[in-house]
């Protein structure tokens, strides 16, 4: 069985991410969506919340497995016997960052290959940080994230705003 791992913070999952997952399913028998516990990012959702949302959205979809992990991606891949990383690219600046990550992963594990997939045009402007800002300011993220994601994000941001108002 040919598998690829699609790692990311997915905070929140967007239609751009979903597009990469679905297109990856056409190439690989299984796409493992690996929700990362990234120490360098301040996430809105916990790692478990992000994984649960993705599991709900892909419930019953053949060829998609959702996991969470902490630590080095290549170590997790080695334990799972996966050798291909699937990554989406929206812009040239994405490529610069992703190229560095791919070369770092290759240095750590020679057997690992990274496959870059260009995001389809209609999703190229979507980023998780823009979505969070839109929703935090009361705007609609329709067409950028699934309704479940927007609902969960609105609830989470409402709780965070209330805590800030209370001085926490």
Active-site residues, by number, are 17, 41, 90, 128
- Report which secondary-structure segment, H or E, holds 16: helix 15-25
117 with 8: CB under 8 angstroms? no
Q: Which residues pair with 32 in a beta bridge?
A: 5, 65
Neighbours of 130 (CB within 10 A): 13
Give the pair of three-digit tokens for residue 60: 């019953």
Q: Give the sheet arrangement for strand 30-36, strand by strand.
A: 64-69, 30-36, 3-8, 84-89, 113-118
DSSP readout, 131-144?
Answer: HHHHHHTT---BTT
């Amino acid at each position: 069985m040919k598998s690829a791992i699609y790692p990311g913070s997915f905070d929140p999952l967007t239609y751009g991410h979903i597009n990469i997952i679905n297109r990856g399913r056409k190439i690989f028998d299984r796409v493992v969506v690996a929700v990362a516990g990234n120490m360098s990012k301040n996430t809105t959702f916990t790692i478990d919340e992000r994984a649960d949302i993705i599991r709900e959205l892909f419930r019953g979809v053949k060829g998609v497995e959702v996991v969470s992990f902490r630590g080095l991606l290549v170590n997790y891949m080695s334990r799972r016997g996966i050798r291909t990383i699937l990554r989406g690219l929206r812009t040239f600046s994405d490529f610069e960052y992703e190229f560095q990550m791919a070369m770092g992963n290759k240095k750590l594990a020679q057997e690992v290959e990274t496959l870059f997939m260009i995001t389809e045009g209609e999703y190229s402007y979507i980023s998780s940080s823009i979505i969070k800002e839109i929703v935090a300011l009361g705007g609609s993220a329709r067409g950028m994230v699934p309704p479940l994601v927007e609902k969960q994000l609105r609830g989470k941001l409402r709780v965070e705003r209330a805590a800030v108002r209370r001085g926490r």
